[in-house]
Structure 1
């Protein structure tokens, strides 16, 4: 019988990916794994635990928080605080970054940015949701006070990023800059096992993911690209298939495995785009490039953008390389 490698074993075997670390990054990834297990259990019992529905609060973006948003945020913060690997955390659900200033964190080298529960508007109807995380080495020196500049780093400075998708199965996907690997959770054993080694975007894709309900608000280049993917062209394999769930993690995961493009452009209702650069775009861009894809704001590589605020939004074009480049062509030609 073939033996499957666990996430913990994989992390230990690949510590050479980060020679500057002395086990801290491995321990940090293990903490994220643990928090993901707790959130997974809560999601699976949400209907029985009376944690469906809205919490009655708004987050910093003015969006209604689901009860599970609050729960997931609290779980990740508590789990990461209980370990000494990070000195601060920023979350889509918090107005400002959170400093861990206890003694056990004073020499910590890392900070974490996260979207604790992406796609939470889907939770009440049992559609796939996820957690997105991003890890950086701090700019300030250990022992100094963590500051905003530690969090406002360009995405190319990430040392690790990934997501946990809570769907028909629970899968943790991550990269440390040496490829992308996915691990499926076995609830009977309580461990994640390597199930998707060395993930790569297919060379060609036929799926496009965009909220076409916002079509009237899109830039001309996006409108023309959408019309192009809908045209019949047997040689090119068009029309492409439209798939959009409203959960970035779900759409991204499908497109990475099957081949596709995800778009969330600017529009009159989202003049800077809707997705957050730090919590969603940067980690997904890191994964995309490590899986052989491409990720831009329609013109510029996402990982090169310099953030100016914690909750900054940007347009997002992400997926199969040739599909993204075609969309960029339409954007350039219709500025």
Structure 2
């Protein structure tokens, strides 16, 4: 794989992001369908997926395109790279005009694949500003996304003094071990949870802390998908100096047996991730 191949994917993502965001107006209503994971789809989900497949799947460097919105991997060419895409993370936030995002993993292996096969990962945050965070070669960079592409690069390192936490799932559904961990974390950190993984992890990267969506009493596998959400975001956090776990080992080591396999996810400062592993052991 040439270095320029991954750059082509990231540049195409920045261009696609502007079209995805422009398509929010008039597409906040639910469709009659569900995605491959059983989630209710909005018209904005389908529009974002179409845009991203057009931009990313049309690249010479990309051979496979896999979307959270589709059942199977799409063969889009002969390129060496595979891309996994969560086209519109937290799309239900659109109803209340709250932040959403796009998550992309760039793999040099056929999908499904573990996070150890990632060569780059990125997310776009559609907040007051449209920003893009990219992890490559052990470094993380935040950009402003404009008509000119990726601009105003700044290095991202996870702050060593954690400040915030955000935990998903309804508290009555948390296992006792995780509830005890949450009680300990609440003593020292401030709650910041908005219902879009991209926005919540972005706060952790900005202020330090921990994001988690644990396994639940009736759903021990959790909610987030390893291929589309967990592994790419874990790659970004680990490249920024943080850590990840599914409760026992790095999220990057998960071998997804199915394209849409789910996993518990913990991302953030190393000491908080180690604390989580001890609590859940």
> Is TM more than 0.5 here?
yes
Moved more, 263-272 or 20-29: 20-29
Specify the alignment match of 1:266 in structure 2: 215
Residue number among 147, 152, 157 corresponding to 1:194 in the alignment: 152
Larger Rg: 1
The Cα shift of 1:320 comes to 1.4
Q: 1:325 to 1:223 in 2, by over 3 A?
A: same
Residues 1:39 and 2:20 aligned together: yes
- Which protein has the bigger strand share? 2
Residue number among 157, 171, 178 corresponding to 2:131 in the alignment: 171
Aligned 8 A contact 1:204 1:322 in 2: no
Residue number among 93, 99, 104 corresponding to 1:122 in the alignment: 93
Aligned 8 A contact 1:165 1:172 in 2: yes
The Cα offsets for residues 120-168 of structure 1, whole Å up to 9 and x where unpaired, read as 0101111000000001113xxxxxxxxxxx1022101101101000001
TM-score normalised by length of structure 2: 0.95
Instruction: Write the distance in 2 (CA, Å) between the matches of 1:22 and 1:178.
Output: 14
Runs of 4+ in structure 1 over 6 Å off: none
Specify the alignment match of 2:251 in structure 1: 302
Q: Root-mean-square deviation (CA), in Å?
A: 1.5
TM-score normalised by length of structure 1: 0.80
Specify the alignment match of 1:57 in structure 2: 33
Secondary structure, counterpart of 1:222 in structure 2: helix
Residue number among 131, 156, 159 corresponding to 2:102 in the alignment: 131
The Cα shift of 1:60 comes to 1.2
Moved more, 25-34 or 151-160: 25-34
Aligned 8 A contact 1:256 1:320 in 2: no
Q: 1:56 to 1:204 in 2, by over 3 A?
A: same
The Cα offsets for residues 236-288 of structure 1, whole Å up to 9 and x where unpaired, read as xx2x2111111000000011110110111111342211000000000011101
Structure 1: where are the runs of 5+ without partners? 1-19, 139-149, 232-237
Secondary structure, counterpart of 1:202 in structure 2: coil
Q: 1:28 to 1:185 in 2, by over 3 A?
A: closer
